[in-house]
Structure 1
């Protein structure tokens, strides 16, 4: 059955050829429903970003397949079903904030299908949603790193993609900025009804944002655990201080610690 607006990952493996050969992913099975927010956590080198690139059609898996709303990843990418946000905002420094948000829609010749107003009004509304009203005419070099990342988020949503792929977008930011952006991300994605696949190294961030947290094992990456997150949305930062939140954080952190110890033991001469 087609997972309309969602993502189905079926038996995906990834082998990189080289002098010794590296198996990055092994037997990944995951169904992500339309409108669901799923986070990926795991140790460095476990294949989180590789899996994101496979879903986006930028890499072809060596085994298994991915279905994106009834399409192959390559077809979904050609149809611009994806919005991307990476650790670096990658804004064009010669364009003002508003111009950066408007650029994808103008290049693609595409308006946001979820909104009836014109492209400039859509861009201004998204900038309001991410707390940047009044900064439309600033250049990227005139605003902070956190503000630049908010511009990148607004840009990714400007043309109405069904799916948002995010690769550690807040990893380089300070804790307070990261907290604020987590709240804004949940609000904006809820309004857009986006399906989100989000890579992070932070277990707390993964739990706070997600409907489900997927824990990957050390390389070759496989699914060690899928944890349902029980708190309804919208969420407040204060839930992180609840005993249940701390317990889930400790459980997932303990799982990653065990996985790291197993990998270290296997690598001993």
Structure 2
């Protein structure tokens, strides 16, 4: 009866219905339902809809059908491969767009890095690319040619958007992976005194202080600014330094304006001469915004 009703409704609506079976079917009230074709004869044909009306026994046969199970596995595998390939190219393009957007804002002619460094990029030619791509999610920018420092290295570590598994995980657990950019400035040996300072978000500050031996040994969290300092870092940032006087001298108005005003953009800023032997390093780690209106890690003075 299920098959009779389905066929009758479809044909009354004007659909072209082909009844296929492997044998003659006896319906209710002594009605015989004779198939138009055998199932084996229409295996290679294309249909807009396949209706299997066979009741509980039919569903059991369908469940145990090895041919149908193999077809479903094949369709699932092909679908996954298509989705994986499409996500790879889309994610790769999105990461490249984010990296180029950063470079077009901070590393072009007239930008902050062009004003402060004489050489941008890894080469000295006009056609040398500004960004060095080390992977689908890692981009590096190098600048040199400034007094008191040997050079600057900016490393963008973006989300692995080209990886389908990572993309699904990020969609389920937002905030698990972030787009970050780190800056390392190698100072000349005689360019600055041996001082230690770190500014980080509250949760990050605890981790950084445990991992860095220089911060563990010489620095502590600063409760507040010195008396002569009128401005201080954002409320969600913590300053770890040898003393509040050192922090007050290093955290000038320019630093506060350009880097540490918004705690959402800054993850970590550190100044240390003991992270690497005989080398003073300025280090900053921040987030790269990917949504409209999100704060950039503003840097107008190096």
TM class, shorter-length:
under 0.3
The structure that has the greater radius of gyration is 2
TM-score by length of 1: 0.24
Compare relative contact order (CA 8 Å, sep 6+) and give the higher one, 1 or 2: 1
